[in-house]
Amino acid sequence: MFDNLSLYVSTVSQGLLLTVEATIGGIVIATVLSFVFGLAMLARSRTVRVIARIYVEIWRGTSEVVQLLWIYFVLPVLVGYKIVPLVAGIVVLGLNFGAYGAEIVRGAVRSVPRAQYEGAIALSLTPGHRMRRVILPQALVEMVPPFNNLFIQLLKGSALLTIIFVHEMTYQAREGLVQTHIDQAWLIWTIVLLFYLVLAVLITIVMRTVERRAARMVGRRPKPVGNVLRTLARSKHVPSTPGVE
Amino acid sequence: MQSSIWNWGYFWDVFPTVVGDGLLITLQATVYGSVIAYVLGLVLALLRRSPIAVVRVVVWAIIEFIRSTPLLVQIFFLFFVFPDFGIKFDALTTGVIALGLHYATYAAEVYRAGIEAVPPGQWEAATALSLPRSRTWIAVILPQAIPRVLPALGNYTISMLKETPLLLTIGVVDIAGAAFQAGSAAFRYVEPITIAGILFLVLSYSASLLVRWLERRVGTVH
């Protein structure tokens, strides 16, 4: 029954690198966009706020599959050249989850107590200084747990790149294994699921470290390391939906 | 004409196809998936409070496993594994079960939060009145917990709506599937896929207004 186990594991792990690349690429873009548009939604200028809001609503309001199809099949027609599947996938993951992340950043910045703003103004810090040295470091601590959820969600979303022929883990299993070993499909898919589970746990471990460091930086006592599984248990993994705050 | 970037004639040609073929399937998958998720989620939430420790741990592990792994892979799992057990569902049914199962684990967390938000005095009063455990749940706790979790459940239904296109990978023709098929037939993807995007935007945005209204009516636990 488990004769082909090593074949299955090795074939799936051939897609591991692409899954990791897509996830990390997506995380980098999503994080940058989260901060850019999250802060833009708090901007003084109405135009900036409206533009940021439009980005967030469009990318949260449409389906990730549709976005993938659009970037991969439609955009090349509009701009005139073909996009590498992996790049298209990373861009969609980044844009999609960046929209959810922008809401996280906005919420965290707004949750910093009003007195912190007033204190910074009283010390006559410039607006840039106020944000960088006072508000953001405190908001950062609040952001880490929801970003942990978001990144796990993004990891799960990377499986969708199968649709645009990125040879990541799900694609490897489906095209490389299930066709020829249909009778052992349950085993193959279980292996794939376990790979994703391990990656999700890894993300949680990294984010716990980030959370402790962020808490130390603002002089708060970091929470004890504790049980990673318990952190997983606390997380919700589904970002909020459009228009609902 | 064919070479231009945007063709309104073609747009109106494929619009009825995409809406007609896809919309009903998308809505069906979302509604049936939600029903499974809401019911199963409540069962899971209650099992997580079971007096038997083994049940609690096993249910917790199942929830974490399903929640931390991709829905797409779970869809494939059911699609390829059901036949091995002699279960012959059509693709839509398989997809709905996968959606329902996946979102049941989210719903379980929502119910849990709702149940925990019921003041302890309610439990104590039920004990003081020596109500049986089942009646405490049915007549006291759940009627207070469930209305307040409805907005959160509604949000998950909107998430589910946006994940129904995953079912196109097992051959279910929802909005995105219909758009893709129309595009493949004519070798023009711009208009149909844009239509699909607009439809999802309209559906999820109007659903989110509904959830917001619900939130105002019943309050929320979060």
Give the mutation candidate from B27, B59, B76 for the A interface (greatest A CB count, under 10 A).
Answer: B76
Task: Categorize the per-residue pLDDT at A75 as very low, low, confident or very high, splitting at 50, 70 and 90.
Answer: confident
Give the max Cα distance, chain B: 79
Give B141 or A222, the one with higher predicted confidence: B141
- Our measurement of the distance from residue A238's CA atom to the centroid of its chain's CA atoms, rounded to an integer in Å, reads 11
Number of H-type helices and E-type strands within chain A: 12, 0
| Contact (CB, 8 A) for B166 and B72 | yes
Supply the pTM of this predicted model.
0.88
State the smallest CA–CA distance between residue B201 and chain A in angstroms.
5
Mutate: best of B80, B170, B221, partner A, most A CBs <10 A: B80
pLDDT value at B7 more than 70: yes
pLDDT at residue A245 in the model = 33
- Decide: helix, strand or coil at residue B142: helix
CA neighbor of B215 nearest in space, from A110, A241, A244: A244
Would you say residue A235 has pLDDT above 60? no
Residue-level pLDDT at B1: 45
pLDDT over 80 at B25, yes or no: yes
Mutate to test the interface with B, among A238, A240, A245 (most CBs of B within 10 A): A238
Q: Which of A150, A146, A135, A138 has its CA nearest to residue A200?
A: A150
Tell me the average pLDDT across B91-107. Answer: 96
pLDDT tier, B84 (very low <50, low <70, confident <90, very high otherwise)? confident
Q: Helix or strand or coil: residue B127?
A: helix
Chain A residue with the nearest C-alpha to that of B180: A69
Query: In terms of Cα–Cα distance, which of A136, A134, A98 is closest to A116?
Result: A134
Per-residue pLDDT of B135-194, as tens digits, reads 999 999 999 999 889 989 999 999 999 999 999 999 999 999 999 888 888 888 888 999
Tell me whether A197 touches chain B (CB under 8 Å): yes
Do B158 and A241 meet the contact criterion of CB atoms below 8 Å apart? yes
Q: Which one has a higher pLDDT value, A12 or B4?
A: A12
Both tokens of B13, joined, read: 């040609």
CB pairs under 8 A between A and B: 157
**Rounded alpha-carbon distances, angstroms, from residue B49 to A208, A229, B44, B111:** 27, 18, 9, 11
Cross-chain Cβ contact A70/B197 below 8 Å: yes
Closest-CA residue of chain A to B152? A240
Asked whether this complex has an ipTM greater than 0.85, the answer is: yes
Domains of chain A, start order = 5-234 (1.10.3720.10)
Question: What confidence category does residue B220 fall into, taking pLDDT thresholds of 50, 70 and 90?
Answer: low
Question: Cβ contact (<8 Å) for A57 and B205?
Answer: yes
Whether residues A62 and B67 touch (CB distance < 8 A) is answered with: no
Q: Is A54 an interface residue toward B (CB < 8 Å)?
A: no
DSSP A221: P
Measured over the CA atoms of residue A209, residue A215, residue A217 and residue A220, the dihedral's sign is negative
| pLDDT exceeds 90 at position A188 | yes
Q: What is the pLDDT of residue A81?
A: 80
A108 touches chain B (CB under 8 A): no
Selected residues 73-102 of chain A with any CB under 8 Å from a CB in chain B: 73-74, 77-78
Looking at every residue in chain B, the average pLDDT score rounds to 90
Lookup: tokens for A106: 């906005």
8 Å CB contact of A162 and B72: yes
Q: Looking at chain A, which residue has its C-alpha nearest residue B200?
A: A62
Contact status of A180 with chain B (Cβ, < 8 Å): no
Q: Confidence band (pLDDT; 50, 70, 90) for A66? A: very high
* pLDDT number for residue A228: 56
Measured between beta carbons, the chain A residues lying within 8 angstroms of B74 are 193
pLDDT for A241 equals 41
Closest C-alpha among B92, B64, B62 to residue B79: B92
Over residues A190-197, the mean pLDDT reads: 96
User: Taking CB atoms and an 8 Å limit, are B166 and A78 in contact across chains?
Assistant: no
Cβ contact, residue pair B84, A173, below 8 Å: no
Give chain A's mean pLDDT: 88
Structural domain B8-218, CATH architecture = Orthogonal Bundle (1.10)
Q: Measuring CA to CA, how many Å separate B54 from each of B50, B51, B61, B165?
A: 9, 9, 11, 37
**A152 near B CB under 8 A:** yes
Do B141 and B118 touch, CB atoms closer than 8 A?
yes
Per CB-CB distance under 8 Å, the chain B contacts of A155 are 70
Between the alpha carbon of residue B118 and those of residues A1, B102, B143, B145, the distances in Å are 49, 26, 10, 6
More confident residue, B190 or B39: B39
B158 contacts on A by Cβ (under 8 Å): 241-242, 244
Band of pLDDT at residue A234, cut at 50, 70 and 90: low
